[in-house]
Structure 1
């Protein structure tokens, strides 16, 4: 072996490299923002290196202002895609920061503020993206809402409604608006969850929507496959995003993610490559799949 080969960087132990101890007690109101989080999440701002896998493409990411959506937006931009992100108006600060990273990568950013529970907004973001970029090649249906439930019997109907409209209705409305504009080679990616397969009773309504998203992904993949459009899901495990301190489970937050085989929560940056794979030609024969990124937790 050559000296250069001997000096190759050693593989990083997946148990380390990111925050692996208890999380400090903290709580936020929904929808949650990046700024107050301790420690700050890693979205790949300083680490993700693109390889031109999405050059010439345009992407729409719902919930793209922070967390997983932000990491995906940064990765897509560094892979060569223009990126539109939708987000709640209260998340403007995070959205502006994400847009700055997209532009630093030399790509165009489009900010779309509104509430996904509105059918008009969830449909209109597709038209706005097409008007800005002239095309739409990748749709990432990522926006989500969850909240800790004390018990099933105390679950308020208005909260159940909010979870379903955010996680399912908005997904359906955006996908339905996008499909007529997608060409062969396009990709739809949903953000499902380990909760779809391993539901926690405290997240029963959230888990129900994630199970439905898996069914949606698999059924739509069968319909759109003959048209050359791939549909897949990423199923994250415990990932450190603003949604976590805003979920209102103070007793569980310190140990968040430490029950995984890798003994820590994941960071948004660690999911970006999964979305890039499913959006790019590298994943050309992957459709109807659910890709777990769970730190070893089984689906």
Structure 2
């Protein structure tokens, strides 16, 4: 497989976007917004970097008021940079953005996030469950209870916690969007715990969509393929990072700006007949969706 990126490794998660080489591309300069989310309030977890950063910027360009979460201490600079980018992208009638530091793996923290967002903006129209972490393992025997609990708390418990608190403040026509992964469909030998959480997210989407259909609150998901985000250098060794994305039929990793339009579509009225569905921007990988 050919080299895609300079070899690099970050020792801890969450990864830092501002030290990556190259910096992920979070906006397509040719993107033409059309006020698709004007007047909406969106809460996006993990919105400081990677796919989350692209999503909040695109949402802001479409007129939404933005709140996002990040991990205090590790992602402070990325969060500040993203706040600046949102302020540059937002339209005149949207409110100032809000960045909330938290650990989403615990119910009380998720409630505090929702309460802060609702306290500032009065409601939530769009909830994007996006934050995730992943660690490689050579065997399932390496994955102990502490490790498993941490990954499941961030990747799927948070979806339950945030959704149950946010629903109290969501009205008919609201949208919930969850980030899953191509790994939920094809599997991954070195990411078995991460892949399991992403499969759980697919089932969560399908079941919750049925539960909320009579309330006209739509629940959908996005299953990206390999995308150049801070999760990559903070998960893999230098050689694997350098070749990341080569396995795709398109022979490259995606950029966050190539994923964000799927979230815009699912958040706006263009997708009014979509619920319980997952979109697959994955570089040409064929999945049984």
TM-score normalised over the length of structure 2: 0.94
CA contact (8 A) 2:51 2:256 kept: yes
Quote the residue 1:26 is aligned against. Answer: 8
Q: For residues 249 and 151 of structure 1, what CA distance do their matches in structure 2 show?
A: 17
CA contact (8 A) 1:45 1:101 kept: no
Quote the residue 1:98 is aligned against. Answer: 82
Quote the residue 1:7 is aligned against. Answer: none
Q: For residues 172 and 48 of structure 1, what CA distance do their matches in structure 2 show?
A: 33
Where 2:34 maps in the other structure, the secondary structure is coil
- 1:143-292 equivalence runs, <5 A: 143-292=131-280
Give per-residue Cα distances to partners, 1:15-63, cap 9 Å, x unaligned: xxxxx95211110021100111111100007454321000000000001
CA contact (8 A) 1:237 1:294 kept: yes
CA contact (8 A) 1:148 1:249 kept: no
TM-score normalised over the length of structure 1: 0.91
Q: Could you tell me which of 94, 99, 104 is aligned with 1:116? A: 104
When structure 1 is superposed on structure 2, of 271-280 and 127-136 the one drifting more is 127-136
- For structure 2, list consecutive stretches of 5 or more residues without a partner in the other structure: none
Once the two structures are TM-superposed, the CA of residue 161 in structure 1 deviates from its matched residue by 1.1
Where 2:187 maps in the other structure, the secondary structure is coil
Quote the residue 1:84 is aligned against. Answer: 67
Give per-residue Cα distances to partners, 1:107-146, cap 9 Å, x unaligned: 4200100111222111221111111111210000000000
Give per-residue Cα distances to partners, 1:131-181, cap 9 Å, x unaligned: 111121000000000011122111232111110000011111000101122
- 1:41-80 equivalence runs, <5 A: 41-44=24-27, 46-80=29-63
Where 2:236 maps in the other structure, the secondary structure is coil
- For structure 1, list consecutive stretches of 5 or more residues without a partner in the other structure: 1-19
Where 2:100 maps in the other structure, the secondary structure is strand
- 1:2-17 equivalence runs, <5 A: none
- With over 3 angstroms needed to count, the CA separation of the structure-2 counterparts of 1:41 and 1:132, relative to structure 1, is same
CA contact (8 A) 1:21 1:264 kept: no
Once the two structures are TM-superposed, the CA of residue 72 in structure 1 deviates from its matched residue by 0.2
When structure 1 is superposed on structure 2, of 152-161 and 255-264 the one drifting more is 152-161
Q: For residues 158 and 31 of structure 2, what CA distance do their matches in structure 1 show?
A: 29
CA contact (8 A) 1:193 1:237 kept: yes
Once the two structures are TM-superposed, the CA of residue 259 in structure 1 deviates from its matched residue by 1.3
> Which protein shows a greater Rg?
1
Q: For residues 289 and 116 of structure 1, what CA distance do their matches in structure 2 show?
A: 24
Give per-residue Cα distances to partners, 1:196-254, cap 9 Å, x unaligned: 11111100000000000000000000010110100000000000000000003333222
